[in-house]
Structure 1
Amino acid sequence: MGRAIVHMDLDTFFVSCERLINPKLNGLPLIIGGSSDRGVVASCSYEARKFGVRSAMPVKYALRLCPQASIIKGDMEYYSNKSHEVTSILKEAAPLVEKASIDEFYLDLTGMDQFFGCYKWTSELSEKIIRESGLPISFALSVNKTVSKIGTGEAKPLGKFEITEKNVKPFLNPLPIQKIPMLGDVTFQLLSRIGIRNIQTLSEMPVEVLQQMIGKNGVEIWKKANGIDNNPVEPYTERKSISTEHTFETDTTDIFLIKSLITGMVEKLSYQLRTEGFLTSTVVFKIRYNNFDTETKQLKIPYTSFDHILTKTAMELFEKLYTRRMRLRLIGIRFTGLVRGSYQINMFEDTTEMVSLYQAIDRIKNRFGSDAVSRCSGARIKQKK
């Protein structure tokens, strides 16, 4: 029995949410993102895309392309609530749901064809989402996650698509290689220079050659170009928080030591957030004195996963908590109020340079380990451990 995997994507999610609040924005070119001169486009409407505006583009440049566009900073808490609303509808209806991001979902409907037509059932579900949430959604049904995700991209906006097993290769072959999920700009430029620009040409390359060119990811890219993807749909569970604690071998009042440790702890937690695709809205700090008295304090912040923001917040909480000047036995940090999100959402506040910096840091850590790059202020502690 073949698999039946659906990919569902809320069309221009941030823009659609804003239009629910203010219908007067319908049909207008909109940019969601930072409003400063160095701000970045987090999302944009189809009307703005016609002028060449794209996500991750500096807002300043986007306004040159589309000067009539309206800029909205964005409300991550509202977007998160709308995402939860759609998630609840999906979990109630579908047997197996994976929430891939704040606006993307995978459904495994394998076996349902003997009771329902999967395409008809998904169409009715998408109509229910549109009716109950007010948000437009597109979907594609196919044999695996890769093909269905690419299919949704071709179906947008507000589209429906089915790619049967026999039509997978005819569907993929003429498409540009940029359509393959996780094929980044560096890989695209490398392949493009040797004349590989569509998926069919890529699929016909010897897999060994591709692996030599771009490393271990070459095999995965080759499989995707050939419509092969055995990755399962992972059941969705809402993660509430991530945390870490450090108990000192000897109770201490060494402020420099404590602050260095805080930097290292936040850095590791922030990397974990980004790796797992989460953002946090609340930082909780805990201290335990040598007499075992324990105190905590928390601070709500705009959604982020960036070290420099979270470290500053953690330091502020430590300064407010540590007032007795007694020796400390333990410190702890916890990030709560988690939502699914990525660099794109952090762009509400951060510059192109900052986003690029974190992307580069994470690539190094992914390849060489989480300790491969670190702030000097936290390095001293890591070397001692």
Structure 2
Amino acid sequence: MPKGPATATDRAVPIRKIIHIDMDAFYASVEQRDDPALRGRPLAVGGSRERGVVAAASYEARVFGVRSAMPSVTARRLCPDLVFVKPRFEVYKAVSAEIQAVFAEHTPLVEPVSLDEAYLDVTENLQGLATATEVARAIRAEILTRTGLVASAGVSYNKFLAKVASDFRKPDALFVITPAMGPAFVEALPIGRFHGVGPVTEAKMKQVGILTGGDLKARSLADLQAVFGSSSGYYYGVARGIDERPVRAHRIRKSVGAESTFSEDTTEFAVLVERLQPILDKVWAACVNKDVSGRTATLKVKFSDFEQITRARSLRMPVGSREALAQISVGLLRDVFPLRRSVRLIGVSLSGLQHGAGEESYQLGLGI
């Protein structure tokens, strides 16, 4: 019978002190901070009333069900009084740099996940504070002082539980899951609250009767492997409160992408270009959010008969703007015409990533 991952009781594993920091409604909070007229109002950053997608939503908008990555038309329908604000990514990056500076004063082991989210290993901290909870409290206070923004923090002995803890009582929360609490806490956790279990996997788990961490823990590794394949080891471990992934200060991401399946297939170039726009919004927002840029743009097209093709273009320099990405993507789309079948899905991704935009980048009007 397959054995599960080794646990802390199987061998001597030092207990780590991990903090997960997550800024509360970051983009929207920056906009409300900088414009008092927006405070207390339902706010969406990105998109517009007619097209695009929501990059971020204020908590006032979330009450109505507005969420990030939601089409603007849907968000407007849910919240007629929703205010749309154009994103100011350079401002968000500058604020994120201030937040990162606070982290660096406490530990060199910082793994940024995005502009507004990071893991910190404070097993040893630079300020000599006695507990990870004290470190998290100090970081939250310093972020508020320097930026005027609120951060939630989760503290635990591994990354999985720290992430769960930071989200547990948001917004404006500090929650701690101790080693003694961990296994029982996970057993009671709804499966949809597990980091790493997205909507598709959640639905799949519920179909086989896995509704809570306790249900997941009751399954053998062999059972999980039969249904979830390569992810089964991760699920098996975290169901027992075990996650030995280290905080990586220089994590490398391979690609950023998004795609959309249409409710109606089409062969019209103009329609496909229009449907490409929210996908480009998502990809570029992810690039800015993670402070990466890429040299290879790839267009994915899936036809009505489910055959799939890709077209890619590699550049001498990274793509420097959303408009440049759109220019390249539309050019790749044009290359697949004329069509013999209708299209049911398109996607765009950027690979060959590097941190930041670099000294030179591909902009509109430059040769490829």
Same fold flag (TM > 0.5): yes
What is the aligned counterpart of 1:25 among 31, 35, 38?
38
Gap change, CA 1:128 and 1:311, over 3 Å in 2: same
Q: Is residue 280–residue 303 contact of structure 1 (8 Å, CA) maintained in 2?
A: no
Q: Is residue 106–residue 135 contact of structure 2 (8 Å, CA) maintained in 1?
A: no
What is the aligned counterpart of 1:204 among 203, 218, 239?
218
Q: Is residue 199–residue 225 contact of structure 1 (8 Å, CA) maintained in 2?
A: yes
Gap change, CA 1:49 and 1:60, over 3 Å in 2: same
**For 1:232-247, what aligned pairs fall within 5 Å after superposition?**
232-236=246-250
Q: Is residue 299–residue 313 contact of structure 1 (8 Å, CA) maintained in 2?
A: no
Gap change, CA 1:60 and 1:231, over 3 Å in 2: same
User: Which residue does 2:321 correspond to in 1?
Assistant: 301
Q: Distance in 1 between matches of 2:228 and 2:32?
A: 42
State the secondary structure of the residue aligned to 2:226.
helix
User: Which residue does 1:162 correspond to in 2?
Assistant: 176
User: Which residue does 1:245 correspond to in 2?
Assistant: none
User: 1:1-34 CA distances to partner (integer Å, 9 max, x unpaired)?
Assistant: 4110000011101001111210221111111121
Q: Say yes or no: does 1:118 pair with 2:132.
A: yes
Gap change, CA 1:80 and 1:281, over 3 Å in 2: farther
What is the RMSD of the two structures over their aligned residues, measured on CA atoms? 3.5
Amino acid at match of 1:223: G
Gap change, CA 1:309 and 1:10, over 3 Å in 2: farther
Q: Percent identity?
A: 32
Q: Is residue 139–residue 152 contact of structure 1 (8 Å, CA) maintained in 2?
A: yes
Q: Distance in 1 between matches of 2:172 and 2:101?
A: 20
State the secondary structure of the residue aligned to 1:9.
strand
Q: Is residue 293–residue 318 contact of structure 2 (8 Å, CA) maintained in 1?
A: no
User: Which residue does 2:23 correspond to in 1?
Assistant: 10
Which of structures 1 and 2 has the larger relative contact order (alpha carbons within 8 angstroms, sep 6+)? 1
Amino acid at match of 2:65: G
What is the aligned counterpart of 1:71 among 81, 84, 88?
84
What is the aligned counterpart of 1:38 among 48, 51, 59?
51
Amino acid at match of 2:166: T
Amino acid at match of 1:194: V
Q: Distance in 2 between matches of 1:182 and 1:49?
A: 22
Segments of structure 1 that go 5 or more residues without pairing to the other structure are 243-269, 284-295, 315-352, 363-385
Please identify the structure whose Cα radius of gyration is greater.
1
State the secondary structure of the residue aligned to 1:61.
helix
Larger proportion of helix: 1
Q: Is residue 282–residue 301 contact of structure 1 (8 Å, CA) maintained in 2?
A: no
Q: Distance in 2 between matches of 1:188 and 1:29?
A: 29
Q: Distance in 2 between matches of 1:185 and 1:117?
A: 35
User: 1:187-210 CA distances to partner (integer Å, 9 max, x unpaired)?
Assistant: 111111222111211122112111
User: Which residue does 2:227 correspond to in 1?
Assistant: 213
Amino acid at match of 1:358: G
Gap change, CA 1:184 and 1:162, over 3 Å in 2: same
User: 1:107-146 CA distances to partner (integer Å, 9 max, x unpaired)?
Assistant: 1111459852221122012101111011110101100000
User: Which residue does 2:244 correspond to in 1?
Assistant: 230
User: Which residue does 2:141 correspond to in 1?
Assistant: 127
| Structure 1 range deviating more: 145-154 or 40-49 | 40-49
Gap change, CA 1:313 and 1:299, over 3 Å in 2: farther
Gap change, CA 1:81 and 1:278, over 3 Å in 2: closer
State the secondary structure of the residue aligned to 1:85.
helix
Segments of structure 2 that go 5 or more residues without pairing to the other structure are 1-13, 256-282, 297-315, 333-342, 351-368
Gap change, CA 1:210 and 1:303, over 3 Å in 2: farther
Residue 101 of structure 1: CA displacement?
Answer: 1.2
Gap change, CA 1:147 and 1:67, over 3 Å in 2: same
User: Which residue does 2:110 correspond to in 1?
Assistant: 97
Gap change, CA 1:119 and 1:20, over 3 Å in 2: same
Residue 219 of structure 1: CA displacement?
Answer: 1.8
Q: Distance in 2 between matches of 1:236 and 1:62?
A: 36
Residue 41 of structure 1: CA displacement?
Answer: 1.6
User: 1:286-324 CA distances to partner (integer Å, 9 max, x unpaired)?
Assistant: xxxxxxxxxx999852489xx54455699xxxxxxxxxx
What is the aligned counterpart of 1:143 among 157, 166, 169?
157
TM-score w.r.t. length of structure 2: 0.67
